[in-house]
């Protein structure tokens, strides 16, 4: 549902009407990898803003993300890494790294982002809503926005043209 709504919003924009600009300004996908669910977020074409996209089952993550990479011209995937308070990797972190290894073979750039407190911030933003499933795409959006904020100068239209 989410990807189709998102496509509809952008199909008539200036970015989609200029093929050369679309090639320069590929989108970034954010992933909040969880035990049961995976939250996805996508950048706007200018790579300034992160937009929550959808929540999917962990079991279909790779084929779904592979399709998104093609459909939305994703060039970079930002994956949130959850570490223990002592800095050690968890089973979820190891699964996220395995996903990254598979995605690398598709030719996309993989970036790992510290996801500390992203789920907490997502839950806090949904005051009064109690479904954990719906926090994941918001957490992915927070993770992606952290990355975009650090890299905004590198991808701004003025620095490309």
Say which residue the tokens 């970079």 belong to.
Answer: 76
142 Cβ contact list (under 8 Å, min separation 6) = 50, 118, 121, 122
| Cα distance between residue 126 and residue 71, in whole Å | 29
Q: DSSP code of 89?
A: B
Q: How far is CA 45 from CA 11, 26, 33, in A?
A: 11, 6, 23
Q: What is the CA radius of gyration of the chain?
A: 15
Task: Read off the pLDDT of residues 21-71 as tens digits, 9 standing for 90 and up.
Answer: 444 458 999 999 999 999 999 999 999 999 999 999 999 999 999 999 999
Query: Which one is predicted more confidently, 26 or 148?
Result: 148
The whole-chain average pLDDT of the chain stands at 78
């Amino acid at each position: 549902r989410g990807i189709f709504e998102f496509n509809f919003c952008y199909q008539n924009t200036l970015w989609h009407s200029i093929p050369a600009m679309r090639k320069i300004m590929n989108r970034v996908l954010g992933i909040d990898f969880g035990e049961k669910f995976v939250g996805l977020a996508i950048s706007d074409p200018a790579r300034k803003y992160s937009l929550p996209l959808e929540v999917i089952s962990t079991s279909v993550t790779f084929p779904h993300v592979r399709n998104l990479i093609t459909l939305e011209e994703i060039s970079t995937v930002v994956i949130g890494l959850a570490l223990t308070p002592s800095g050690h990797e968890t089973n979820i972190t190891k699964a996220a790294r395995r996903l990254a290894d598979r995605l690398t073979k598709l030719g996309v750039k993989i970036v790992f982002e510290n996801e500390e407190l992203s789920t907490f911030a997502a839950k806090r933003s949904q005051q009064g809503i109690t479904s954990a499933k719906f926090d994941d795409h918001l957490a992915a959006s927070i993770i992606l926005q952290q990355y975009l904020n650090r890299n905004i100068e590198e991808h701004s239209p003025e620095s490309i043209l």
